[in-house]
Structure 1
Protein backbone atom coordinates (compact mmCIF):
# COMPACT_ATOMS: atom_id res chain seq x y z
CA UNK A 1 0.00 0.00 0.00
CA UNK A 2 1.33 3.44 -0.99
CA UNK A 3 1.77 5.82 1.92
CA UNK A 4 -0.19 9.10 1.53
CA UNK A 5 1.70 12.34 1.00
CA UNK A 6 2.10 14.23 4.25
CA UNK A 7 1.21 17.89 3.75
CA UNK A 8 1.03 21.05 5.89
CA UNK A 9 -1.36 23.81 4.75
CA UNK A 10 -0.61 27.42 5.72
CA UNK A 11 -3.13 30.22 5.12
CA UNK A 12 -4.40 33.01 7.36
CA UNK A 13 -7.99 32.51 6.16
CA UNK A 14 -9.65 29.68 8.08
CA UNK A 15 -12.12 28.77 5.34
CA UNK A 16 -9.37 28.56 2.72
CA UNK A 17 -7.06 26.33 4.73
CA UNK A 18 -9.91 24.14 6.00
CA UNK A 19 -11.37 23.85 2.51
CA UNK A 20 -7.96 22.97 1.11
CA UNK A 21 -7.47 20.36 3.82
CA UNK A 22 -10.81 18.69 3.10
CA UNK A 23 -10.24 18.77 -0.65
CA UNK A 24 -6.80 17.19 -0.38
CA UNK A 25 -7.88 14.50 2.07
CA UNK A 26 -10.86 13.65 -0.14
CA UNK A 27 -8.36 12.41 -2.72
CA UNK A 28 -7.33 9.53 -0.48
CA UNK A 29 -3.65 10.11 -1.30
CA UNK A 30 -2.92 13.05 1.02
CA UNK A 31 -2.72 13.27 4.79
CA UNK A 32 -2.85 16.88 5.97
CA UNK A 33 -0.79 16.63 9.14
CA UNK A 34 -1.30 20.27 10.19
CA UNK A 35 -2.94 23.55 9.22
CA UNK A 36 -1.45 26.86 10.31
CA UNK A 37 -2.70 30.49 10.16
CA UNK A 38 0.77 31.94 9.50
CA UNK A 39 4.38 30.92 8.92
CA UNK A 40 5.66 31.85 12.39
CA UNK A 41 5.54 28.25 13.66
CA UNK A 42 6.05 26.61 10.28
CA UNK A 43 9.72 25.71 10.65
CA UNK A 44 9.01 24.06 14.01
CA UNK A 45 6.05 22.18 12.55
CA UNK A 46 8.11 20.93 9.61
CA UNK A 47 10.87 19.79 11.98
CA UNK A 48 8.50 17.79 14.19
CA UNK A 49 5.93 16.54 11.67
CA UNK A 50 8.28 15.82 8.75
CA UNK A 51 5.83 16.47 5.90
CA UNK A 52 6.58 15.64 2.29
CA UNK A 53 5.47 19.09 1.21
CA UNK A 54 3.94 22.36 2.35
CA UNK A 55 1.25 24.53 0.75
CA UNK A 56 1.67 28.16 1.75
CA UNK A 57 -0.12 31.39 0.82
CA UNK A 58 2.15 34.07 -0.62
CA UNK A 59 0.82 36.84 1.66
CA UNK A 60 0.24 36.26 5.37
CA UNK A 61 0.54 38.02 8.73
CA UNK A 62 2.25 40.01 9.99
CA UNK A 63 3.11 42.09 6.92
CA UNK A 64 0.98 40.58 4.15
CA UNK A 65 3.85 41.02 1.70
CA UNK A 66 5.76 37.93 0.53
CA UNK A 67 5.87 35.90 3.74
CA UNK A 68 5.03 32.73 1.82
CA UNK A 69 8.04 33.11 -0.46
CA UNK A 70 10.30 33.83 2.51
CA UNK A 71 8.95 30.72 4.23
CA UNK A 72 9.54 28.65 1.08
CA UNK A 73 13.17 29.76 0.93
CA UNK A 74 13.67 28.95 4.61
CA UNK A 75 12.13 25.51 4.30
CA UNK A 76 14.20 24.63 1.25
CA UNK A 77 17.34 25.81 3.05
CA UNK A 78 16.73 23.95 6.33
CA UNK A 79 14.65 21.01 5.07
CA UNK A 80 15.77 20.40 1.47
CA UNK A 81 13.73 17.21 1.23
CA UNK A 82 10.44 19.08 1.74
CA UNK A 83 8.70 20.53 -1.31
CA UNK A 84 6.80 23.82 -1.21
CA UNK A 85 3.79 24.95 -3.25
CA UNK A 86 3.26 28.71 -3.04
CA UNK A 87 -0.28 29.90 -3.79
CA UNK A 88 -0.78 33.43 -5.06
CA UNK A 89 -3.50 35.69 -6.44
CA UNK A 90 -0.89 37.40 -8.59
CA UNK A 91 -0.15 36.25 -12.14
CA UNK A 92 2.82 38.63 -12.39
CA UNK A 93 6.04 36.81 -13.38
CA UNK A 94 7.93 39.02 -10.91
CA UNK A 95 6.58 36.99 -7.98
CA UNK A 96 7.53 33.74 -9.70
CA UNK A 97 11.03 35.06 -10.26
CA UNK A 98 11.30 36.05 -6.60
CA UNK A 99 10.37 32.51 -5.58
CA UNK A 100 12.77 30.80 -7.97
CA UNK A 101 15.72 33.20 -7.75
CA UNK A 102 17.56 30.96 -5.25
CA UNK A 103 16.85 27.75 -7.15
CA UNK A 104 13.91 25.92 -8.70
CA UNK A 105 14.13 22.45 -7.14
CA UNK A 106 11.16 21.43 -5.00
CA UNK A 107 9.19 24.63 -5.61
CA UNK A 108 5.89 25.44 -7.33
CA UNK A 109 4.15 28.74 -8.00
CA UNK A 110 0.40 28.34 -8.55
CA UNK A 111 -2.45 30.80 -8.70
CA UNK A 112 -5.00 30.42 -5.92
CA UNK A 113 -7.63 29.47 -8.48
CA UNK A 114 -5.87 26.09 -8.69
CA UNK A 115 -7.01 25.22 -5.16
CA UNK A 116 -10.32 24.11 -6.63
CA UNK A 117 -8.59 21.92 -9.23
CA UNK A 118 -7.67 18.83 -7.23
CA UNK A 119 -5.79 17.10 -10.06
CA UNK A 120 -3.66 20.20 -10.71
CA UNK A 121 -2.90 20.66 -7.02
CA UNK A 122 -1.98 17.00 -6.56
CA UNK A 123 0.27 17.12 -9.61
CA UNK A 124 2.12 20.12 -8.17
CA UNK A 125 2.52 18.36 -4.82
CA UNK A 126 3.93 15.27 -6.50
CA UNK A 127 6.34 17.38 -8.54
CA UNK A 128 7.77 19.33 -5.60
CA UNK A 129 7.90 16.22 -3.41
CA UNK A 130 10.10 14.55 -6.02
CA UNK A 131 12.30 17.65 -6.35
CA UNK A 132 10.64 19.03 -9.46
CA UNK A 133 9.28 22.50 -10.21
CA UNK A 134 6.00 23.91 -11.51
CA UNK A 135 4.97 27.35 -12.74
CA UNK A 136 1.27 28.09 -13.18
CA UNK A 137 0.28 27.90 -16.87
CA UNK A 138 -1.29 31.38 -16.70
CA UNK A 139 2.01 32.83 -15.52
CA UNK A 140 3.88 30.95 -18.24
CA UNK A 141 1.52 32.32 -20.88
CA UNK A 142 2.20 35.80 -19.53
CA UNK A 143 5.95 35.25 -19.75
CA UNK A 144 5.81 34.00 -23.30
CA UNK A 145 3.26 36.58 -24.44
CA UNK A 146 5.28 39.39 -22.93
CA UNK A 147 8.27 38.36 -25.02
CA UNK A 148 6.34 37.58 -28.20
CA UNK A 149 7.03 40.94 -29.83
CA UNK A 150 10.43 41.58 -28.26
CA UNK A 151 13.63 41.45 -30.25
CA UNK A 152 17.13 40.75 -29.02
CA UNK A 153 15.96 38.67 -26.04
CA UNK A 154 16.85 35.07 -25.30
CA UNK A 155 13.31 33.85 -25.86
CA UNK A 156 13.26 35.68 -29.17
CA UNK A 157 15.67 33.06 -30.45
CA UNK A 158 13.15 30.25 -29.99
CA UNK A 159 10.96 28.91 -32.77
CA UNK A 160 7.19 28.72 -32.40
CA UNK A 161 7.38 24.98 -31.72
CA UNK A 162 10.16 25.48 -29.16
CA UNK A 163 7.98 28.02 -27.35
CA UNK A 164 5.16 25.47 -27.22
CA UNK A 165 7.50 22.87 -25.78
CA UNK A 166 8.89 25.41 -23.31
CA UNK A 167 5.42 26.27 -22.04
CA UNK A 168 4.61 22.58 -21.55
CA UNK A 169 7.93 22.07 -19.75
CA UNK A 170 7.24 24.89 -17.31
CA UNK A 171 3.81 23.44 -16.58
CA UNK A 172 5.63 20.37 -15.28
CA UNK A 173 4.73 18.06 -18.17
CA UNK A 174 6.94 15.05 -18.78
CA UNK A 175 8.51 14.48 -22.18
CA UNK A 176 5.93 11.79 -22.87
CA UNK A 177 3.05 14.12 -21.99
CA UNK A 178 4.52 16.89 -24.15
CA UNK A 179 4.86 14.49 -27.07
CA UNK A 180 1.25 13.39 -26.71
CA UNK A 181 -0.10 16.93 -26.32
CA UNK A 182 1.79 18.37 -29.29
CA UNK A 183 1.52 15.25 -31.47
CA UNK A 184 5.29 14.79 -31.60
CA UNK A 185 7.58 11.82 -31.12
CA UNK A 186 9.55 11.62 -27.88
CA UNK A 187 12.78 12.00 -29.80
CA UNK A 188 11.47 15.20 -31.40
CA UNK A 189 10.55 16.58 -27.99
CA UNK A 190 14.04 15.78 -26.68
CA UNK A 191 15.56 17.54 -29.70
CA UNK A 192 13.46 20.66 -29.08
CA UNK A 193 14.34 20.67 -25.37
CA UNK A 194 18.04 20.42 -26.08
CA UNK A 195 17.71 23.30 -28.55
CA UNK A 196 15.90 25.38 -25.92
CA UNK A 197 18.61 24.74 -23.33
CA UNK A 198 21.29 25.68 -25.86
CA UNK A 199 19.56 28.88 -27.02
CA UNK A 200 18.92 29.99 -23.43
CA UNK A 201 22.54 29.22 -22.53
CA UNK A 202 21.65 26.94 -19.63
CA UNK A 203 24.69 25.00 -18.37
CA UNK A 204 24.77 21.39 -19.49
CA UNK A 205 25.93 20.18 -16.08
CA UNK A 206 22.86 21.51 -14.24
CA UNK A 207 20.27 18.93 -13.11
CA UNK A 208 17.75 18.37 -15.92
CA UNK A 209 14.73 18.94 -13.67
CA UNK A 210 16.00 22.33 -12.60
CA UNK A 211 16.81 23.35 -16.17
CA UNK A 212 13.23 22.82 -17.30
CA UNK A 213 11.76 25.61 -15.20
CA UNK A 214 14.96 27.65 -15.28
CA UNK A 215 14.45 27.82 -19.05
CA UNK A 216 11.28 29.84 -18.54
CA UNK A 217 12.84 32.12 -15.94
CA UNK A 218 16.14 32.77 -17.69
CA UNK A 219 14.84 35.70 -19.70
CA UNK A 220 13.81 37.50 -16.51
CA UNK A 221 17.39 37.41 -15.31
CA UNK A 222 18.60 38.51 -18.73
CA UNK A 223 16.39 41.62 -18.54
CA UNK A 224 17.43 42.40 -14.99
CA UNK A 225 13.86 42.19 -13.64
CA UNK A 226 15.26 41.39 -10.23
CA UNK A 227 16.28 45.05 -9.95
Structure 2
Protein backbone atom coordinates (compact mmCIF):
# COMPACT_ATOMS: atom_id res chain seq x y z
CA UNK A 1 0.00 0.00 0.00
CA UNK A 2 1.47 3.35 -1.11
CA UNK A 3 1.32 6.29 1.31
CA UNK A 4 2.15 9.99 1.29
CA UNK A 5 2.62 11.88 4.58
CA UNK A 6 2.22 15.64 5.07
CA UNK A 7 3.31 16.87 8.52
CA UNK A 8 5.28 20.03 9.30
CA UNK A 9 6.93 18.67 12.46
CA UNK A 10 10.12 16.91 11.37
CA UNK A 11 10.17 14.58 14.38
CA UNK A 12 6.54 13.55 13.99
CA UNK A 13 6.90 13.19 10.22
CA UNK A 14 9.91 10.91 10.55
CA UNK A 15 8.15 8.99 13.31
CA UNK A 16 5.18 8.37 11.01
CA UNK A 17 7.51 7.24 8.21
CA UNK A 18 9.08 4.74 10.57
CA UNK A 19 5.74 3.43 11.84
CA UNK A 20 4.17 2.93 8.44
CA UNK A 21 7.31 1.40 6.94
CA UNK A 22 7.36 -1.06 9.83
CA UNK A 23 3.78 -2.08 9.04
CA UNK A 24 4.46 -2.73 5.36
CA UNK A 25 3.47 0.57 3.73
CA UNK A 26 5.53 2.08 0.93
CA UNK A 27 6.04 5.73 1.86
CA UNK A 28 6.35 7.44 -1.52
CA UNK A 29 6.70 10.96 -0.10
CA UNK A 30 6.95 12.71 3.27
CA UNK A 31 6.58 16.50 3.06
CA UNK A 32 6.28 19.46 5.40
CA UNK A 33 3.77 21.80 3.73
CA UNK A 34 0.44 21.76 1.89
CA UNK A 35 2.02 22.99 -1.35
CA UNK A 36 4.61 20.22 -1.21
CA UNK A 37 1.81 17.72 -0.66
CA UNK A 38 -0.06 18.87 -3.76
CA UNK A 39 3.11 18.67 -5.86
CA UNK A 40 4.03 15.25 -4.45
CA UNK A 41 0.61 13.77 -5.26
CA UNK A 42 0.64 15.34 -8.72
CA UNK A 43 3.95 13.58 -9.40
CA UNK A 44 3.00 10.20 -7.96
CA UNK A 45 -0.55 9.46 -6.78
CA UNK A 46 -0.48 7.12 -3.75
CA UNK A 47 -3.26 4.95 -2.34
CA UNK A 48 -3.71 7.13 0.73
CA UNK A 49 -2.55 10.45 2.18
CA UNK A 50 -2.10 11.26 5.87
CA UNK A 51 -2.16 15.02 6.31
CA UNK A 52 -2.01 17.42 9.25
CA UNK A 53 -4.65 20.17 9.22
CA UNK A 54 -2.49 23.12 10.22
CA UNK A 55 0.56 23.56 8.03
CA UNK A 56 2.84 26.34 6.74
CA UNK A 57 2.73 29.16 5.95
CA UNK A 58 -0.08 30.32 8.26
CA UNK A 59 -0.77 27.18 10.30
CA UNK A 60 -4.54 27.50 9.97
CA UNK A 61 -6.24 24.92 7.77
CA UNK A 62 -3.82 24.68 4.84
CA UNK A 63 -3.53 20.90 5.10
CA UNK A 64 -7.28 20.44 5.19
CA UNK A 65 -7.72 22.78 2.22
CA UNK A 66 -5.15 20.72 0.34
CA UNK A 67 -7.13 17.57 1.19
CA UNK A 68 -10.30 19.14 -0.23
CA UNK A 69 -8.44 19.97 -3.45
CA UNK A 70 -6.99 16.46 -3.65
CA UNK A 71 -10.46 14.98 -3.19
CA UNK A 72 -11.67 17.01 -6.19
CA UNK A 73 -8.68 16.05 -8.35
CA UNK A 74 -8.42 12.41 -7.24
CA UNK A 75 -11.83 11.14 -6.05
CA UNK A 76 -10.52 7.62 -5.31
CA UNK A 77 -7.56 8.80 -3.22
CA UNK A 78 -7.82 7.90 0.47
CA UNK A 79 -7.44 10.91 2.79
CA UNK A 80 -6.83 10.75 6.53
CA UNK A 81 -6.73 14.14 8.23
CA UNK A 82 -5.04 14.61 11.60
CA UNK A 83 -5.76 17.61 13.81
CA UNK A 84 -5.48 19.01 17.31
CA UNK A 85 -8.92 20.64 16.93
CA UNK A 86 -11.95 20.40 14.65
CA UNK A 87 -11.93 22.97 11.85
CA UNK A 88 -15.71 22.93 11.39
CA UNK A 89 -16.09 24.83 8.12
CA UNK A 90 -13.36 23.13 6.10
CA UNK A 91 -14.06 19.72 7.67
CA UNK A 92 -17.70 20.09 6.64
CA UNK A 93 -16.63 20.90 3.08
CA UNK A 94 -14.42 17.81 2.95
CA UNK A 95 -17.15 15.49 4.21
CA UNK A 96 -19.85 17.06 2.03
CA UNK A 97 -17.76 16.03 -0.99
CA UNK A 98 -18.30 12.40 0.04
CA UNK A 99 -17.23 10.19 2.92
CA UNK A 100 -15.81 7.31 0.88
CA UNK A 101 -12.13 6.93 1.71
CA UNK A 102 -12.08 9.80 4.21
CA UNK A 103 -10.90 9.98 7.80
CA UNK A 104 -10.65 12.76 10.38
CA UNK A 105 -8.92 11.93 13.65
CA UNK A 106 -7.94 14.10 16.60
CA UNK A 107 -4.27 13.63 17.49
CA UNK A 108 -4.87 13.67 21.23
CA UNK A 109 -7.30 10.75 20.94
CA UNK A 110 -4.96 8.43 19.03
CA UNK A 111 -4.03 6.13 21.88
CA UNK A 112 -2.30 3.22 20.16
CA UNK A 113 -0.32 2.57 16.99
CA UNK A 114 -2.12 -0.51 15.66
CA UNK A 115 -5.65 1.04 15.65
CA UNK A 116 -4.18 4.12 13.96
CA UNK A 117 -2.53 2.01 11.27
CA UNK A 118 -5.78 0.10 10.78
CA UNK A 119 -7.62 3.41 10.40
CA UNK A 120 -5.27 4.32 7.55
CA UNK A 121 -5.86 0.93 5.92
CA UNK A 122 -9.63 1.43 6.26
CA UNK A 123 -9.49 4.82 4.56
CA UNK A 124 -7.20 3.50 1.82
CA UNK A 125 -9.75 0.76 1.16
CA UNK A 126 -12.58 3.25 0.72
CA UNK A 127 -13.92 3.19 4.27
CA UNK A 128 -14.64 6.06 6.63
CA UNK A 129 -13.02 6.77 9.99
CA UNK A 130 -14.34 9.84 11.81
CA UNK A 131 -13.60 10.63 15.45
CA UNK A 132 -16.91 10.82 17.40
CA UNK A 133 -15.92 14.25 18.76
CA UNK A 134 -15.55 15.51 15.19
CA UNK A 135 -19.06 14.31 14.29
CA UNK A 136 -20.49 15.89 17.44
CA UNK A 137 -18.85 19.27 16.80
CA UNK A 138 -19.89 19.31 13.15
CA UNK A 139 -23.50 18.63 14.11
CA UNK A 140 -23.40 21.43 16.71
CA UNK A 141 -21.81 23.77 14.17
CA UNK A 142 -24.46 22.93 11.57
CA UNK A 143 -27.32 23.51 14.01
CA UNK A 144 -25.78 26.75 15.24
CA UNK A 145 -25.36 28.07 11.69
CA UNK A 146 -28.56 26.82 10.02
CA UNK A 147 -29.92 29.89 8.19
CA UNK A 148 -33.40 28.35 8.11
CA UNK A 149 -33.68 28.80 11.89
CA UNK A 150 -34.66 32.41 11.23
CA UNK A 151 -37.73 31.41 9.19
CA UNK A 152 -41.25 30.94 10.50
CA UNK A 153 -42.99 27.57 9.90
CA UNK A 154 -45.05 29.10 7.07
CA UNK A 155 -41.94 30.63 5.48
CA UNK A 156 -40.22 27.24 5.63
CA UNK A 157 -43.26 25.70 3.96
CA UNK A 158 -43.19 28.29 1.18
CA UNK A 159 -39.42 27.88 0.73
CA UNK A 160 -39.78 24.09 0.47
CA UNK A 161 -42.24 24.58 -2.40
CA UNK A 162 -39.93 27.14 -4.03
CA UNK A 163 -37.17 24.51 -3.86
CA UNK A 164 -39.50 22.12 -5.73
CA UNK A 165 -39.57 24.67 -8.56
CA UNK A 166 -43.15 25.86 -8.01
CA UNK A 167 -44.28 29.36 -9.02
CA UNK A 168 -45.97 31.76 -6.61
CA UNK A 169 -49.28 30.93 -8.27
CA UNK A 170 -48.79 27.20 -7.78
CA UNK A 171 -47.71 27.73 -4.17
CA UNK A 172 -50.81 29.83 -3.51
CA UNK A 173 -53.05 27.06 -4.85
CA UNK A 174 -51.23 24.44 -2.82
CA UNK A 175 -51.48 26.39 0.46
CA UNK A 176 -54.94 27.87 -0.22
CA UNK A 177 -53.73 31.46 0.17
CA UNK A 178 -53.50 34.44 -2.15
CA UNK A 179 -50.57 35.06 -4.46
CA UNK A 180 -50.00 38.33 -2.61
CA UNK A 181 -49.57 36.40 0.63
CA UNK A 182 -47.07 34.05 -1.03
CA UNK A 183 -45.14 36.99 -2.48
CA UNK A 184 -44.97 38.53 1.00
CA UNK A 185 -43.59 35.28 2.46
CA UNK A 186 -41.05 34.92 -0.35
CA UNK A 187 -39.82 38.48 0.18
CA UNK A 188 -39.49 37.81 3.90
CA UNK A 189 -37.47 34.67 3.14
CA UNK A 190 -35.10 36.68 0.93
CA UNK A 191 -34.63 39.21 3.71
CA UNK A 192 -34.03 36.65 6.47
CA UNK A 193 -31.60 34.68 4.31
CA UNK A 194 -29.77 37.92 3.43
CA UNK A 195 -30.02 37.36 -0.31
CA UNK A 196 -29.63 40.99 -1.33
CA UNK A 197 -31.46 42.87 -4.05
CA UNK A 198 -30.60 40.91 -7.20
CA UNK A 199 -33.20 39.88 -9.76
CA UNK A 200 -36.01 37.82 -8.22
CA UNK A 201 -35.24 34.76 -10.37
CA UNK A 202 -31.64 34.78 -9.13
CA UNK A 203 -32.67 35.14 -5.50
CA UNK A 204 -35.24 32.40 -5.94
CA UNK A 205 -32.53 29.94 -7.04
CA UNK A 206 -30.25 30.97 -4.16
CA UNK A 207 -33.08 30.53 -1.66
CA UNK A 208 -33.83 27.06 -3.03
CA UNK A 209 -30.15 26.08 -2.79
CA UNK A 210 -30.00 27.30 0.81
CA UNK A 211 -33.00 25.12 1.66
CA UNK A 212 -31.52 22.02 -0.01
CA UNK A 213 -28.13 22.45 1.70
CA UNK A 214 -29.77 22.69 5.12
CA UNK A 215 -31.68 19.41 4.82
Structure 1 position 39, deviation (Å) = 1.4
What secondary structure does 2:27 align onto? strand
User: Offset of 1:34 from its aligned partner?
Assistant: 1.3
Q: CA deviation at 1:140?
A: 4.1
Structure 2 partner of 1:9 = 5
Partner-residue secondary structure (3-state), 1:40: helix
Normalised by the size of structure 1, how large is the TM-score? 0.55
Q: In the alignment, does 2:20 pair up with 1:24?
A: yes
Q: How many positions carry a matched residue from both structures?
A: 149
SS at match of 1:41: helix
- Is the Cα contact below 8 Å between 2:92 and 2:138 reproduced in 1? no
Shift of 1:145: 9.5
Q: Which residue pairs with 1:110 in the alignment?
A: 105
What is the CA distance between 1:81 and its match in structure 2? 2.1
For 2:22 and 2:109, how far apart are their aligned partners in 1?
16
Which residue of structure 2 lines up, in the alignment, with residue 59 of structure 1?
A: 54
1-side partners of 2:121 and 2:60: how far apart? 27
How far residue 115 of structure 1 moved from its aligned partner, in angstroms, is 5.3
Q: Which has a greater percent of helix?
A: 2
1:202 maps to which residue? none
Identify the residue that residue 128 of structure 2 maps to in structure 1.
133
Residue ranges of structure 1 left out of the alignment (5+ in a row)? 151-221
Report the aligned-residue RMSD.
Answer: 3.2
Distance 1:86 1:76 in 2: 12
Cα distance in 1, alignment partners of residues 25 and 66 from structure 2: 22
* Separation of aligned partners in 2, 1:144 and 1:99: 14
Aligned partners of 1:66, 1:10: CA distance in 2, in Å? Answer: 13
Q: Structure 1 residues 103 and 25, CA, compared in 2 at 3 Å: closer, same or farther? A: same
Give 3-state SS (helix, strand or coil) of 1:104's partner: coil
Q: Are 1:124 and 2:83 counterparts?
A: no
How big is each residue's C-alpha offset from its partner over 1:33-85, in whole Å with a ceiling of 9 and x where there is no partner? 21101011222311322211000000001121111111111111112221110
Tell me, in whole angstroms, the C-alpha distance in 2 between the residues paired with 1:20 and 1:116.
14
Aligned to 2:44: 49
Runs of 4+ with deviation above 6 angstroms? 143-146
Partner-residue secondary structure (3-state), 1:55: strand
Q: Separation in 2 of the partners of 1:145 and 1:10? A: 29
8 Å contact kept, 1:9–1:56: yes
TM-score calculated relative to the size of structure 2: 0.58
Distance in 2 (alpha carbons) for counterparts of 1:98 and 1:71: 12
- Within the alignment, does 1:97 sit opposite 2:123 as a pair? no
